Amino acid sequence: MGLTRVNLLAGLLGSYIIRDPVVEEPLGLPNGDEFDRPLVVFDRSFRTDGSIFMSSIGNNPDIHPQWQPEYFGDAIIVNGKAWPRLTVRRRKYRFRIINASNARFFRFFFSNGLRFTHVASDSAYIEKPVTTNETLVGPSEITDIVVDFSQSKTNVAILANDANYPYPSGDPVNEDNGKVMKFIILPDQEVDTSRLPRRLVEYPVVDLSSVTHTRYVAMYEYVSKIDEPTHLYLNAKPFEAPVTETPRVGSTEVWYVINLTEDNHPLHIHLGLLKVFDQTALVELEEFKECMTKKNDAVKCNLKKHARGKKVAVPDHEKGWKNVFKMIPGHVTKIAVRFSYIHTNASYSFDATAEPGYVYHCHVLDHEDNAMMRPLKLVN
């Protein structure tokens, strides 16, 4: 707490893929080190000597000497290299693209119109492949896609980004952070034995009639007299306040996540996986915000009356089980949270009630550090 934003920024980081050959080999997706590649993407700023730069002066130094609400770097780094290139063959590749930025969202697309075929998201497969032109990835999200370079009409494709920062209402991208990496596509056609199956992996259906607990998680941002953010809280509580979320092991809960801020926050729940139903715009938002700021109680502030705006459909490729999901500002997001294994519905093979317990938090590192994070204590 307080140091994650600095630790990840300065440290070495990499990816570790856990495979289940029994489930995955029959799918026939591109595999092996050459054709199944993690791409760890983040933004960094550098001094002229190449060392990493992060300003150590807070935006509100009288209140907090170091903290800034979001770190954004000038250069886009993929697997440790700034704006790298990769030579690929004319065939299918699987890329597991991990957004390891502190605060930057990426909306990836290919400059030459090549498309993404999603096969999984975060740590779980989706039911069937979904093809899109672009994919929005918040901090800590993983977009797991197949790209078929045999479909490319050009021999060069730029993987680009057009997500404002902060997302969604910050600055537009520029020449530097609008580019991610370059693919050089070899001209020769080749035989490709990998495939995109019609169906991927189906997990057991969740019985929502067994839901016993509904929770409300409201996201607040606080500002100083000069209108600069000072900190962010979930349910208006600091991390140290006594635990309020105590789900039962094996249960499924419905959470309404209410984003009262102006930014999108990727909510990450430890241990439990989540499925998103929908996102609904809050009407008469200022009135609702005022009530929530006073009472911090979604029921007393009549969330139902305010959750009547336009519904935002969940993109098809994000309808599966997620580790993290992007909470749209001024919206309430309804999610199911499952506290058991999702592939069998069986209970955990370890004692999930053991100390020190778990947490749930916004995955913008600068937010979770100050202190958009709350404890999560499982009970039997």
φ/ψ of 143, rounded to 5, equals: -105, 125
CB of 312 to Cu ion, least distance (A): 18
Using the minimum distance from each CB to Cu ion, give the nearer residue, 265 or 374. Answer: 265
Using the minimum distance from each CB to Cu ion, give the nearer residue, 328 or 352. Answer: 328
Using the minimum distance from each CB to Cu ion, give the nearer residue, 185 or 332. Answer: 332
Burial class (CB in 10 A: 0-12, 13-18, 19+), 63: middle
CB of 219 to Cu ion, least distance (A): 7
CB of 363 to Cu ion, least distance (A): 7
CB of 30 to Cu ion, least distance (A): 34
Return the exposure string of 289-308: e unless at least 16 CB atoms fall within 10 Å of the residue's CB, then b. bebbeeebebeebebeebbe
The residue type found at 289 is K
The token pair that represents 142 in the structure block: 């993983």
Do 149 and 87 touch, CB atoms closer than 8 A? no
Q: How far apart are the first and last CA of the chain?
A: 28
Q: Where are the beta strands (DSSP E) in 48-178?
A: 52-53, 75-78, 81-82, 85-90, 92-99, 106-110, 116-121, 124-132, 134-137, 142-148, 156-161
Using the minimum distance from each CB to Cu ion, give the nearer residue, 265 or 306. Answer: 265
CB of 264 to Cu ion, least distance (A): 8
The token pair that represents 348 in the structure block: 């955990």
What DSSP designation does 322 have?
B
Using DSSP's 3-state secondary structure scheme, residue 30 falls into coil
CB of 362 to Cu ion, least distance (A): 3
Q: Strands of 311-312's sheet, edge to edge?
A: 229-234, 213-223, 252-259, 331-338, 273-281, 311-312
Within the chain, what is the greatest distance between any pair of CA atoms?
65
Q: Give the CA-trace dihedral at 276, 41, 86, 91, to 10 degrees.
A: -10
Using the minimum distance from each CB to Cu ion, give the nearer residue, 130 or 364. Answer: 364
Given the structure tokens 């693209």, which residue do they identify? Answer: 97
Given the structure tokens 């980081």, which residue do they identify? Answer: 13
Give start and end residues of each alpha helix (H) in 167-236.
none
Using the minimum distance from each CB to Cu ion, give the nearer residue, 138 or 247. Answer: 138
Residues near Cu ion (CB under 5 A): 265, 362, 364, 367
CB of 304 to Cu ion, least distance (A): 25
- What is the rounded CA–CA span in Å between residue 371 and residue 278? 26
CB of 49 to Cu ion, least distance (A): 32
Using the minimum distance from each CB to Cu ion, give the nearer residue, 147 or 234. Answer: 234
CB of 149 to Cu ion, least distance (A): 36
Using the minimum distance from each CB to Cu ion, give the nearer residue, 118 or 265. Answer: 265
Return the exposure string of 221-239: e unless at least 16 CB atoms fall within 10 Å of the residue's CB, then b. beeeeeeebbbbbbbbbeb
Using the minimum distance from each CB to Cu ion, give the nearer residue, 96 or 367. Answer: 367
What DSSP designation does 208 have?
G
CB of 259 to Cu ion, least distance (A): 9
